[in-house]
Structure 1
Amino acid sequence: MRFLSKLPYLTRILVIATVVAVGVVICGTFAMRFSASNPQVQAKNSPTKTTVASQPNSIPAALPTAIIPTNSTPIEVSKITQVQKKPTSNQLAYGHFPYTQANSNQMMLIGSYATGADQRFESLNTEAVQAFMKMTYAAREVGVWIIPVSGFRTIEQQEKLFQEQIKRRGSAKEAAKISAPAGYSEHHTGFALDLTDGKFPKKDITFEFENTDAYRWLTSHAKEFGFELSFPRNNKQGVSFEPWHWRYVGSSDAAAVFANARNQR
């Protein structure tokens, strides 16, 4: 410091400035070397941006689907046809005319037959139901109990019945004397029915039904309600006498269904 004091004022300023400049240079050099040996660390959690190039004509991935179980049951709706099976001609089978099977939705309940496990419910075409009810009520007023044994039958039901008759009688020809082949029964129309006397159940579908009050009343009054015996004795169709089998012809539609058979009476 004494050295500096002996120098002129201007020279002292220059010497001090030179010393300061040299110091700054030396400090800067050390700072640069330190930063080079310790590189700055970047944050690893910095967000990154990814660009996905779209591909032309690519098919997008299908979204996943889930099958959800339910307690509901699918409802199967089947078509109801007016005629299940239709004869192709008017050719007779053992004296029986062919008949198409009516729509079961056109039938209405008329009563039940038998009891317990054998009980079944019988129906007729809606056009015949009212007439049948009036007829049975009129009969009961005089103490006659008319019971329906069988009404509308499907072709499948008739086939089963006819096969049972074949087993009993030995042949289709003999079976046809008491039961029509499937597709040839008046019961398919819904206008025919088998009747019996409620007071004599053991005479159901037997020739002894002819000797009951119900049969005698029917032969005298059934026509008043539009019913007639389908197979009287010595009918031109050649079918066995069936005192229990009656058909409704009280409407134009019903009469037209049995036009061929009625011409054979």
Structure 2
Amino acid sequence: MTGYDMFADLRIPSDYGRNPRRPKFKEAAELTDVEPNVVGTMQRLAPETAAAWRNLKRAAAGVGVQLLLVSGFRSVRHQADIIRRKLAAGQSIEQILAVNAAPGFSEHHTGRAVDIATPGTRPLTTEFESSAAFRWL
């Protein structure tokens, strides 16, 4: 769509990324399937990150710590969809941007970022910070 302004559509302030300064991230050129996440959706990561994730999980398991993959690669479009869903659920853009990067500004676009959890903690909450898995990391 010519002239489409995703930020305006999502109600993201036009100075996002400049004030305060935030880096932009390009989408990964190469991704590999890693494993299903906590809800069963296959997650993809950049190849070197996939290898690092597998090594981390193996090391954790060796000391009795279980790590769960919550999310890996997210496209710019998927990041925008997350924001759209939250807006539709009644959250303000300010609330959303306090915990989610704007499309184009998430390290998840690179395939080199993961969100993780462990059994007994709700994904994407601060509960993980009180877990044995967090202390092990």
TM-score where L is the length of structure 2? 0.79
Aligned partner (choices 101, 104, 107) of residue 31 of structure 2: 107
**1:202-258 deviation digits (Å, cap 9, x = unpaired):** 42111111111111111xxxxxxxxxxxxxxxxxxxxxxxxxxxxxxxxxxxxxxxx
Map of 1:129 onto structure 2: 50
- Seen in structure 2, the aligned counterparts of structure 1 residues 141 and 111 have a Cα distance that, compared at 3 Å, is same
User: Which is bigger in relative contact order (C-alpha 8 A, separation at least 6)?
Assistant: 2
Map of 1:77 onto structure 2: none
Cα distance in 2 between the residues matched to 1:124 and 1:93: 30
Count of residues paired in the alignment: 122
**1:14-55 deviation digits (Å, cap 9, x = unpaired):** xxxxxxxxxxxxxxxxxxxxxxxxxxxxxxxxxxxxxxxxxx
Aligned partner (choices 117, 127, 132) of residue 208 of structure 1: 127
For the aligned residues, what is the CA RMSD?
Answer: 2.1
Query: 2:106 matched to 1:185?
Result: yes
Whether the 8 Å CA contact 1:162–1:180 is kept in 2: the answer is: no
Alpha-carbon shift at residue 177 of structure 1 (Å): 0.8
Map of 2:3 onto structure 1: none
Give the percent of matched residue pairs that are identical in Structure 1 and Structure 2: 28
Cα distance in 2 between the residues matched to 1:151 and 1:93: 27
Cα distance in 1 between the residues matched to 2:131 and 2:84: 29
Alpha-carbon shift at residue 93 of structure 1 (Å): 6.7
Cα distance in 1 between the residues matched to 2:21 and 2:127: 23
Map of 1:28 onto structure 2: none
The 5-angstrom pairing of residues 30-179 of structure 1 reads: 91-92=17-18, 96-103=22-29, 106-114=30-38, 118-168=39-89, 170-179=91-100
Aligned residue identity for 1:97: P
SS in structure 2 of the partner of residue 203 of structure 1: coil
Unaligned runs of 5+ in 1: 1-89, 219-265
Cα distance in 1 between the residues matched to 2:73 and 2:104: 13
Unaligned runs of 5+ in 2: 1-15
Q: Which has the larger radius of gyration?
A: 1
TM-score where L is the length of structure 1? 0.43
Map of 2:9 onto structure 1: none
SS in structure 2 of the partner of residue 192 of structure 1: coil
Whether the 8 Å CA contact 1:110–1:124 is kept in 2: the answer is: yes
